[in-house]
A and B are shown apart, each in its own frame.
Chain A
Amino acid sequence: MLKIEQKANGSELIFALEGRLDTTTAPQLENELRKSLSGVESLIFEFEALEYISSAGLRVLLSSQKQMNKQGEMVIRNVRPEIMEIFDVTGFSDILTIE
């Protein structure tokens, strides 16, 4: 289960995720991002309530990072330790901007 909440403020867009970002739910996030990213200069992921991420979720984050490198910046906030561990193992902590 993944709950996605979007908050737009001018060219800033916040995606607050709650639950699990896995094989089953990653396509849902990918679709929402595809619809929303046009014109966004600052993309913020709020991960406080995200409990789980698998490589399917990492794939979506990487493609958004690539997209945002072209049009602005992307930041991930409030990452839980269990998920930070996965970012560390996969080298994603060096690619992503985590606050």
Chain B
Amino acid sequence: MISCGKEEHVKELKIGARTDNLDQVLAFVDESLEAADCSMKAQIQIDVAVEEIFVNIAQYAYTPAEGEAVIRLDTETNPGAVTITFIDSGVPFNPLAVEEPDVTLSAKDRKVGGLGIFMVKRSMDEVSYEYADNKNILTIKKNI
């Protein structure tokens, strides 16, 4: 087999699903993005997506108990892409099924609920959800 220059790196982080672990999660992600020469714009979009998803798991998946989240990060080069998978064993929840906010309303009528996942859908190239083995599995992919 001749390699066409495509390389793949997979890393995994298992961490308590608590909002105060957010900085650690972002550091884990940013380290790989920087190594992959990700543009600042794509990095910010990915960071925002990771924050929205992780905080969502931290706030809702296990409440009031505590649990863990697994974050799997797969970077590819030639062409560059990053795929991040979030896995939790909390209550089944498909964030992609949440009704999208009306982003055309005035400040007076705007609600901010659902805005986070809306930003994820708009800024990532692929977003998918499945519930398998009693686990929520949310995957995002961004071409970088």
Contact A82 B110 (CB under 8 A): no
Number of A-B contacts (CB under 8 A): 65
Contact B112 A95 (CB under 8 A): no
Contact B52 A55 (CB under 8 A): yes
CB closest chain-A residue, reference B122: A89
Contact A95 B47 (CB under 8 A): no
For this complex, into which size category does the number of interface residues on chain B fall?
Answer: 20 to 34
B20 contacts chain A at the CB level, 8 A cutoff:
yes
Distance A53 CA – B122 CA, assembled complex (angstroms): 15
Contact A24 B40 (CB under 8 A): no
Chain B binding site: helix, strand, loop or mixed by DSSP?
helix
Contact B106 A54 (CB under 8 A): no
A77 contacts chain B at the CB level, 8 A cutoff:
no
B20 contacts across to A, CB distance below 8 A? 24
Stretch at the interface among A2-10, A32-40, A58-66: A58-66
Contact B104 A91 (CB under 8 A): yes
Contact A90 B103 (CB under 8 A): yes
Question: Given that A55-B112, A95-B106 are known contacts, is A23 also in contact with B118, CB under 8 Å in the complex?
Answer: no
For this complex, into which size category does the number of interface residues on chain A fall?
Answer: 20 to 34
Question: Given that A23-B55, A24-B23, A86-B119 are known contacts, is A58 also in contact with B47, CB under 8 Å in the complex?
Answer: no
B47 contacts across to A, CB distance below 8 A? 52, 54
Query: Of A55, A66, A69, A81, which one neighbours B116 at CB under 8 angstroms?
Result: A55
A48 contacts chain B at the CB level, 8 A cutoff:
no
Distance A52 CA – B51 CA, assembled complex (angstroms): 11
28 residue pairs from A and B, CB less than 8 Å apart: A22-B51, A23-B22, A23-B55, A24-B22, A52-B44, A52-B47, A54-B52, A55-B52, A55-B112, A55-B115, A55-B116, A56-B55, A58-B112, A58-B115, A62-B107, A62-B110, A62-B112, A65-B107, A69-B107, A85-B41, A85-B44, A86-B48, A90-B103, A91-B104, A91-B105, A95-B106, A95-B107, A95-B110
